[in-house]
Structure 1
Amino acid sequence: MVLVNSHPSSTDTILRVKGPLEFKFQLNSTDALLMHEVISRTFETLRSQVKSESCVLTICDSPVVIWPNKDVTITPEEITPNTLCEDVHQWIQTDEQESSGKKSGRKKSKKSSAVNVINLHVMMEVSKPGPLSAPILSRTVQKSHFLSATLPMDCVVSTSCSDTIRNACERLVEALTRQLCEMEKYPAGVPDSQLEKQRKELHQQFELPDDRPYFRRANAYHFPSEPYKDGYLRNPHLVLTHPTVDTGKVYLVQGIYSYHHYMQDRMDDNGWGCAYRSLQTICSWFQQQGYVEQPVPTHREIQQALVDVGDKQASFVGSRQWIGSIEVQAVLNQLLGVTSKILFVSQGSELASKGRELANHFVTEGTPVMIGGGVLAHTILGVAWSETTGQIRYLILDPHYTGGEDLQVITDKGWCGWKGPDFWDQTAYYNLCLPQRPKSI
């Protein structure tokens, strides 16, 4: 799992090194203590290889090869150990260019805030210099177990504009070595629920608060160039421009969520499933912040949860009946163990006076808010609010959208956008479900 600063500076360059390291060892005994010793020795051997002259780093999509432990030897010779990391971009072949072998101009990002990432691959030299000798074969009859596995190395370092390749190589080797140590201590396959002790140690080591997760698998950094496998859009509001509110501030959802809306998942819920979709967006937030490991619930699972808590009859499962804020609160508690506050508003015109409550929610809890009124449900992702004038605008994620996952359409057409107080039906009553962030690591 790769963990980096959640908000890298746009002027920084992230170096990401990936590659398989072969983990092979022979066991002559099934004694647990001896097995542990052999595994530890194998990890130590790998750490020695990473620090040896046989370790090679190649920069992906470029002719650049680096021997980080051989006094930082680099090819092509135009690049030296004192070359700045950010200058390496010119050697990386971009998608637009033909494979001409010439060094390329740096690919410009569409967004000025995009993080610069240089991908590297780690390998080990097998051949050794010097004259070749004839092989010597020997045969030993012995019962033993030979185990072989591939360790998927994946670690990063963040560099500033003044860092050289020499500086970066030292830190990359250190990062690879440290990741091998962590692999030995925290084997894969152990669920987050069984690693609380290790997370507490990390929180203490990095002086982090112990009331929210930072080191669960869901908190792994997502690189901008990698698509999400599930196909859902994440945080579409980030491309929007904040509205201008005199003497006001903007208060936003904290963390990552998925946009759930009508007609996704091969489910025709057009006209009745808006609250279900808003609930799914909220559930995705708790999943992607690492609070829960279970997937986002389906409509049927939501309905079954309401039956299980006694809120609905068994015939409710499989129906096309609406749900509201109170049902959303019940499902969050039943499926995720998450509590929620309910804010009652007798008519839509009163929502404009709820800026303080909403602003405080996004500062302290930071979760998406579900709001239901009449026959409509929406998700509130933030507010722009002035304590002095009371002026307010709401950042709305609309679950009634029926199109594809087109970010430009969604934001241009206002399916995710800032709305004024007149967005709400001024005479309808509204209930707001404000999920509370669990105090856990």
Structure 2
Amino acid sequence: MKIKEILNQNLSDKELLEILKDMHAFDIAQSFSLLEEDDINRIKNLLPPELLADVYSYLNPEDAAEILQTQTLDEQIEVISNLEPDDAADIINEFEEEEKEELMDALKDEDILSLMQYEEETAGSYMTNDILFVNQIESVKEATKKLIKKANELKSIKTVFVVDKEESYIGQISLQSLLRAKEPLTVNDLYETEPVLNEHDDVDTIIKHIKHYGAYDIPIVSEKNKLLGAITTDDILDIYRDETVEDIEKLNILPDTDLDQNVFISSFKRLPWLLILMLLSIPLAFITSNYEEILTSIVILAFFQPLMLDSGGDVASQTLAVTLVGLTSKEGVDIKDGIKEIISGTISGLVMGILAFIATLGLSQFMQVDSPLLVALVVGISLWLTVISAPILGFFIPNLLHKLNFDPAVASGPFITTLIDIISIVIYFGLATLLLGGSINV
């Protein structure tokens, strides 16, 4: 049963609390977007701090901060003390500056305060310092005892990190390996060295690290290789999701996809990009206007104009997708990949061009167009050349941006398809003018 329905049953606070305790914190958090402010306040006031902290951890940090700020300072500190340090840091960073300073002054948790210093979308901002690390000289028995003692306090126990006497990272041990090990083995006999991330590495570096090495818990070190914390599995999933959403937004020229955002704010955020695309479309209208004579002479050409525009854009988008995947992979892309895409476009374009030629020839004869063979040749050859040019743009534009250290995702579908539209119109009407001369009448 949904919380909204439960609240409508006029239950006592005690009855409601018993139901909430049996629910998963994620389900409670999800219900907040559907509840009135009074209902949220009732739930917030009923839940014990440890369960309320779990609920906050499943909310967007901005939403969690908004609710947390309605509580007293003492209540805020009590809830925060039950949060994982990285979740607490994310939520507090969403506070207004004055309230953030007040809360930071009252906090005694150095782990949280140390995480709040990092810039957004850096490895340090995603990591938790709630991890287990052992010294390389410790015995298996000592390491296991330490694990058992601290298990309840840790965010993840899948990985045990190994440091030297200076607390510099040297490797890690899986939980399975540690539990299977017997005396007289020591930590030094068990650990394996894995690639690490620097505390200031950006999100693109983190994503590539995840893709290349597939780690569950990624150690984060300082410039001097001191172990600071780790990015755990749940944070890895969040990073992957956020980056995927961001790439989708870029590919579609969206500033963001906040479904709860005011419709007017959302419209004004999207408007600049739409205006840019509109400006890019002006050359398309200008070029088309220069071919009015050929269009009025051979009306059937207008019938196939959408075919030229859509086919080129579709092929360019496919090549763009392949190229972006290649650029984010370990192997990357090279000129051979571009040649392969162009050859593929040539073959596809040839088949599409032949089919378009046959269709145009039949339609031209049906409509009793003069010189139907020439008209069919214009449509077939134009479609072929357009489909050949599409993978050239879809491959080389994002690669050029990548080499110039720009995000290749900004070479998005709308930009590339607009360029393809311009090229296809020039090819189509240019070839029509060359072969037909604008003198044939229907």
TM bracket (short chain): under 0.3
Instruction: State the TM-score, normalizing by the size of structure 2.
Output: 0.25
- Report which of the two has the higher share of strand: 1
Higher Cα Rg: structure 1 or 2? Answer: 2
Work out which structure has the larger RCO, using CA pairs closer than 8 Å and 6 or more positions apart in sequence.
Answer: 1
- Report which of the two has the higher share of helix: 2
Instruction: State the TM-score, normalizing by the size of structure 1.
Output: 0.25
